[in-house]
Amino acid sequence: MDSLTLPGLAEIEAAAGRLAGKAVVTPLLESPALNARIGGRILLKPETLQRTGSFKFRGAYNRLSQLSEVQRQAGVVAYSSGNHAQGVAAAARLLGLPATIVMPGDAPRIKVANTKGYGAEVVTYSRRAEDRRAIAEAIATKRGATIVPPYDDPDIVAGQGTCGLEIFQQAEALGVGLDALLVCCGGGGLTAGIGTAARDLSPETEVYTVEPAGWDDTARSLAAGQRLANQSPPRSFCDALLAEEPGVLTFDVNRRIAAGGFAVTDDEVAEAIRYAFQTLKLVVEPGGAVALAALLAGRYDARDRCVAVTLSGGNVDPELIARLLAEG
């Protein structure tokens, strides 16, 4: 993909202007208990507190707010396991346009219910037997609607980049420089957005992706220098991060700015969810807890370093978090 199509800091700042008064400026939190456990200074970015419960609202609203009036009347179609679905549905409601979301039949019930609650039509499919993108494209073609992809879009990436813009502005306000930033990664949109902001605002900060074990396509692609797909990946409860391969645009960005990637097991993620709930007093979904899991499991050595960690979403079924807490 031509690098001229990639968003830069100017596009991220423009997205921040569109999101002003719409998205939540989530805080940068610090826990003395976590600092003591890790032996460094850890700053948490809880996008669990974002509108719709994840960072995905940022990119969705930035994309939808730039549609023409003709495009708005025809509506939008998206495909998502849940967080992008909710982001698009909520943005569509705010902008007064119809939205249809293609979601897997095994998506967490809370994500499906919330998506419908924002007024979107939900079409379900089999994650292992059907192609969600093909389904979405067929619907969009029939209705003349606009496809809103979950990550492989410059406006989506720029919107997610506002999370990074806030992180660096907030860290500067605290008077600290970040040695590293751990980012929850599925298709790579959040990493690409945050990394783009880091390149201009804090080039000394190392950006790392964190993915579920067996679904670490971005980490392996970064190491290989080319896009690699997951081969027969295992089941994982990190539903928000189960991308089959990195996005074309997102990998083009991430291969330039990411320092590497880590993978964590479901058991390590479960421990991070329990730690977030019991110690940090935050509800974090599996996909949103992988970066914290990498920190707690020692994948990244943060001793004597200042590290920011994204908590990218908090949309978890009550039954799941109750079971995880009971097992702990």
Q: Residues 61-116: pLDDT tens digits?
A: 999 999 999 999 999 999 998 999 999 999 999 999 999 999 999 999 999 999 99
Confidence of residue 328 (pLDDT cuts 50, 70, 90): confident
Mean pLDDT for the stretch of residues 211-218 = 98
CB proximity list for 290: less than 8 A, separation 6 or greater: 184, 185, 210, 211, 212, 238, 241, 264, 269, 272
| pLDDT exceeds cutoff 60 at 4 | no
- Mean pLDDT, the chain, rounded, equals 96
Confidence of residue 202 (pLDDT cuts 50, 70, 90): very high
pLDDT for the residue 162: 98
User: Angle 123-112-276 (CA atoms, 0-180°, nearest 5)?
Assistant: 145
How many angstroms separate the CA atoms of 177 and 171, rounded?
7
Q: Which H or E element spans position 250?
A: helix 248-257
Q: How long, in residues, is the chain?
A: 328
Of the candidates 309, 320, 302, the one whose C-alpha atom is nearest the C-alpha of residue 280 is 309
Q: In what order do the strands lie in the sheet with 258-264?
A: 29-30, 41-46, 306-311, 180-184, 206-212, 258-264
CB of 305 closer than 8 Å to CB of 280: no
Strand partners, 310: 45
| pLDDT exceeds cutoff 80 at 2 | no
**Residue 37: HSE in the Cβ half-sphere, 13 Å Cα cutoff:** 15
pLDDT for the residue 317: 93
Calculate what percentage of the chain has a pLDDT beyond 90. 96
CB atoms within 10 A of CB 104: 21
**18 to 22, 66, 143, 156: CA distances (angstroms):** 8, 9, 27, 13
Catalytic residues: 56, 312
Greatest Cα pair distance, the chain, in angstroms, is: 56
CB of 44 closer than 8 Å to CB of 75: no
* Strand-pair category, 99-104 with 29-30: unpaired
How many angstroms separate the CA atoms of 9 and 323, rounded?
42
Mean pLDDT for the stretch of residues 118-136 = 93
Question: 64-96: string of b/e by CB count within 10 Å (b at 16+)?
Answer: bbebeeeebebbbbbbbbbbbbbbbbbbbebee
Confidence of residue 3 (pLDDT cuts 50, 70, 90): very low
Mean pLDDT for the stretch of residues 130-142 = 95
Of the candidates 199, 285, 187, the one whose C-alpha atom is nearest the C-alpha of residue 241 is 187
Question: Using the 8-state DSSP alphabet, how is residue 280 labeled?
Answer: I
pLDDT for the residue 128: 83
**For the segment 22-40, what is each residue's pLDDT rounded down to a tens digit?**
999 999 999 999 999 999 9
CB of 250 closer than 8 Å to CB of 194: no
How many whole angstroms from its chain centre is CA 143? 28
| pLDDT exceeds cutoff 80 at 140 | yes
* Strand-pair category, 41-46 with 29-30: antiparallel
What structural domains does the chain harbor?
Answer: 3-54+153-327 (3.40.50.1100), 57-147 (3.40.50.1100)
Token output for 58: 């940022």
Calculate what percentage of the chain has a pLDDT beyond 70. 99
| pLDDT exceeds cutoff 90 at 127 | no
How many angstroms separate the CA atoms of 75 and 67, rounded?
9
